[in-house]
Amino acid sequence: KPEEEDEDEDEDEDEDDDMSTEGNTVIGLLGGGQLGRMLCEAANPLGIDIAILDDHNAPAKQAHNTNRHVVGSFKDPERIKELAARSDYLSVEIEHVDTEVLEEIEKNGVPIEINGETVAHRPPIHPSWRTLRLIQDKYLQKEHFKSSGKKIPIAEQIAIESGDATLDSLKKAGKQFGFPFMLKARKGSYDGRGNFKINSEDDFAEAIKALGTLPLYAEKWAPFVKELAVMVIRTEDSDGKLKSCVPYPAVETIHEDSICTKVFMPPREVSEDVCERARKLATEVISTLWGRGVFAVEMFLLEDGSLMINEVAPRPHNSGHYTIEAVPYMSQYKAQLHAVLDLPVPEKLIPRVKSSIMLNILGGAKPDSHHYLSSLARGTFDEDMDVYLHLYGKESKPSRKIGHITITGFRSIQELEAKAKPFIDLVDKIRQ
Ligand code: ATP
Ligand code: MG
Ligand code: MG
């Protein structure tokens, strides 16, 4: 009976633990959150294997089956070496990783056995650990841009002394910048955790209480009219020479309580000239870094029309989620794979739609606060607007990014915004 024979074969395969990913190129990924998950979603149809270092049931692991995943922390040197030993390339979905061990792997490799012999295995690391180390320290990151020889505008900044000297150091910042100014943790921050807006000297004590144990710096307040972001694909040849920096369209990002909540492509009420300048500036910024991959450049648009760099993320980014549907032939995730593996990337990145809105789904007060929104997005069909739901397989907690909705349209961003209003109102309501 042929059917039974087929079943027998399947069982044999299971016993051998034979994976369909055997023989595929393996990218070892430090971190397995939603960015890693969407990277896997792009990798699966391309037959690229992603080995993820993170907790057992991390969002990315749910989306990609392989026997190469490693359980542990992306800050643990031993686990990172274990991942390196089973990967052809290494990359990251988060910048807060151990860069010492990445440097060591690049220099000395990790021991692996081939035909009974131990050899040093050196998977190329992209982006470079140099870039990751620089970007981890937001103060040094911007000092680097300042001294790069390119015209990269940043907010004035000063390092804040630690320990007993912190208060005097803050007073000095207040004198130099005036109020308000921003006090920031140099390392480890995301979604605005690690930022403290100082409105007057009265806030010093509370700021020291909140952040005083961390290395800090102060930034002059940027009186921006909008926040923009540009994703850039950076490619290099095998000896590390810059090949190209290709920008995606400029987008407008909306932050509420320092968390990105919405993205608009193109930016609303921003001229084409400003968007073009933003794209140029973003490519200049990324050209000063090292390694291949996609990078996000966050910037402020000031009242006088000038641009100022806020920070860079050396990986796929929230502001680029919209590219999955709006630039489907080369989403930021596919671009990350192409760049890391040195596959071709387009010379220009032109969206296939006229406008797009990305709405983050942040966890609400109750674990199921977002359920109505999810079911609405699943069931929406409209001639002028496409609605795409992404849930990340994460437990809902207040203000946690648990999913997003991308809406694309064939008319202006204003018309799309009007059409998308029910969704926009709902995401806002979930947060309250
Ligand atoms: P991310 O999640 O993007 O990594 P982060 O924790 O690194 O965020 P920043 O990007 O430094 O934080 O700041 C978060 C937000 O705070 C910015 O997007 C902006 O809205 C506001 N902000 C930061 N720096 C300044 C500044 N100097 N002046 C005014 N607003 C600022
Ligand atoms: Mg940041
Ligand atoms: Mg930021």
Q: What is the pLDDT of residues 64-107, one digit of tens each?
A: 999 999 999 999 999 999 999 999 999 999 999 999 999 999 99
Residue 398 confidence (pLDDT): 92
Question: Among the listed ranges 1-10, 241-250, 315-324, 345-354, which one has the minimum average pLDDT value?
Answer: 1-10
User: At 197, is the pLDDT very low, low, confident or very high (cuts 50, 70, 90)?
Assistant: very high
Residues 24-46 pLDDT 10s: 999 999 999 999 999 999 999 99
User: At 16, is the pLDDT very low, low, confident or very high (cuts 50, 70, 90)?
Assistant: very low
Determine whether the shortest distance from the Cβ of 415 to ligand 1 is under 6 A.
no
User: At 17, is the pLDDT very low, low, confident or very high (cuts 50, 70, 90)?
Assistant: low
Atom 30 of ligand 1, nearest CA residue:
222
The pTM score is 0.94
User: At 1, is the pLDDT very low, low, confident or very high (cuts 50, 70, 90)?
Assistant: very low
Give the ipTM: 0.99
pLDDT > 70? residue 129: yes
Residue 15 confidence (pLDDT): 47
Kindly report the average pLDDT of the chain as a whole number.
94
Please give the distance, rounded to the nearest whole angstrom, from the Cα atom of residue 124 to the centre of ligand 1: 31
Question: Which protein residues have their CB within 5 A of the ion that is ligand 3?
Answer: 298
User: Three-class SS string for the chain?
Assistant: CHHHHHHHHHHHHHHHCCCCCCCCCEEEEECCCHHHHHHHHHHHHHCCEEEEEECCCCHHHHCCCCCCCEECCCCCHHHHHHHHHCCCEEEECCCCCCHHHHHHHHHHCEEEEECCEEEEECCCECCCHHHHHHHHCHHHHHHHHHCCCCCCCECCEEEECCHHHHHHHHHHHHHHHCCCEEEEECCCCECCECEEEECCHHHHHHHHHHHCCCCEEEEECCCEEEEEEEEEEEEECCCCCEEEEEECCCEEEEEECCEEEEEEECCCCCCHHHHHHHHHHHHHHHHCCCCCEEEEEEEEEECCCCEEEEEEECCCCHHHCCHHHHCHHHCHHHHHHHHHCCCCCCCCCCCCCCEEEEEEEECCCCCCCCHHHHHHHHCCCECCEEEEEEECCCCCCCCCEEEEEEEEECCCHHHHHHHCHHHHHHHHHHHC
User: At 19, is the pLDDT very low, low, confident or very high (cuts 50, 70, 90)?
Assistant: low
Residue 430 confidence (pLDDT): 87
pLDDT > 60? residue 180: yes
Residue 360 confidence (pLDDT): 97
Ligand 1 test: best mutation among 256, 310, 311, most atoms within 8 Å of CB? Answer: 310
